[in-house]
Amino acid sequence: MTIYHGSNTIVEKPRLITHNRFLDFGNGFYTTPNKDQAVKFAEIVALRRGGTGMVSMYELHRKSVMRNWF
């Protein structure tokens, strides 16, 4: 399964860190399986923070994710 992350920078290795701000769904690294949605969010982030909108792409393997999650 391919997932995408829209931002103003490429994220090669995502890290989960605690922020002192409140996000819509809490702390985390937000991704979507919808590439168009990631592109639109990247454009929004670039307008807010400067730079150029970029989309990072990740390939998830269900068995690996399930094994590492539980």
pLDDT digits (tens, 9 = 90+) for 10-69: 999 887 776 666 666 667 788 999 999 999 999 999 999 999 999 999 998 777 665 655
What pTM does this model have? 0.75
What Å distances lie between residue 4 and 16, 21, 28, 34, 64, CA to CA? 16, 22, 14, 7, 18
Give all strands (DSSP E) within the chain, no chain letters: 2-7, 54-59
- Give the integer Cα–Cα distance in Å for 18 and 25: 13
Q: Domain boundaries in the chain?
A: 2-69
